């Protein structure tokens, strides 16, 4: 009984602290710039942030901690949670197997000046966020389409590059 009371009090204290800024962690709130959400700081945000819904009811997330910028290029990882199970054909030596999955991660690289992108790596995820398969697609630069995940994250990844 005392343990339950202590846990309940701890939970109430934690809920009361939600959303409050402390010390140097506070800062300017998020702002909209040219239609893009600009975060003043990302220290307290989760790794994977929701950005879009897929047509099959799934979701797409970006990881702001993976953004790197150099020489007019920007890299970022996206994670897709599909609304329906997907199939991936894995070839190992002379053996082929089919992997059923619902989550994949994609490493995008953007040419910020030309607004082109390519996919550097693709990871098929299993339970517990383990990588069960990966591939490196042909490195083909594509124009960023007018809609979709690449268009959405291009200005975020390329900001100040």
Could you give the CA distance from residue 31 to residue 3 in angstroms, rounded to a whole number? 43
Q: Is the pLDDT of residue 67 over 50?
A: yes
3-state DSSP call for residue 92?
strand
- State phi, psi for 79 to the nearest 5 degrees: -130, 125
Q: Is the pLDDT of residue 138 over 60?
A: yes
What are 157's two structure tokens? 């990844």
Q: Domain ranges in the chain?
A: 31-131+150-161
pLDDT at 128: 87
Could you give the CA distance from residue 16 to residue 11 in angstroms, rounded to a whole number? 9
What does the mean pLDDT of the chain come to?
A: 79
What are 76's two structure tokens? 């970022």
Could you give the CA distance from residue 100 to residue 126 in angstroms, rounded to a whole number? 9
pLDDT at 91: 85
31-131+150-161, CATH topology level = Lipocalin (2.40.128)
- Say if strands 36-38 and 48-53 run parallel, antiparallel, or are unpaired: unpaired
H/E run at residue 80: strand 73-92
Could you give the CA distance from residue 137 to residue 135 in angstroms, rounded to a whole number? 6
pLDDT at 2: 42
Is the pTM higher than 0.95? The answer reads no
Reported as a single tens digit per residue, the pLDDT across 6-45 is 434 344 344 333 443 333 333 444 454 544 444 544 556 6
């Amino acid at each position: 009984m005392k343990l339950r009371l202590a846990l309940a009090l701890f939970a109430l204290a934690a809920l009361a602290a939600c959303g409050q800024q402390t010390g140097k962690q506070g800062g300017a709130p998020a702002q909209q710039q040219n239609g893009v959400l600009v975060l003043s700081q990302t220290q307290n945000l989760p790794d994977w942030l929701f950005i879009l819904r897929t047509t099959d009811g799934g979701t797409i997330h970006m990881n702001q901690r993976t953004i790197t910028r150099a020489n007019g290029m920007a890299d970022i990882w996206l994670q897709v949670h599909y609304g329906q199970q997907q199939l991936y054909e894995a070839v190992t030596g002379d053996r082929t197997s089919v992997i059923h999955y619902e989550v994949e991660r994609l490493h995008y690289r953007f040419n910020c000046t030309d607004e082109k992108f390519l996919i550097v790596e693709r990871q098929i995820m299993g339970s517990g966020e383990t990588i069960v398969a990966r591939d490196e697609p042909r490195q083909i630069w594509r124009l960023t389409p007018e809609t979709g995940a690449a268009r959405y994250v291009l200005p975020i990844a390329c900001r100040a590059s």
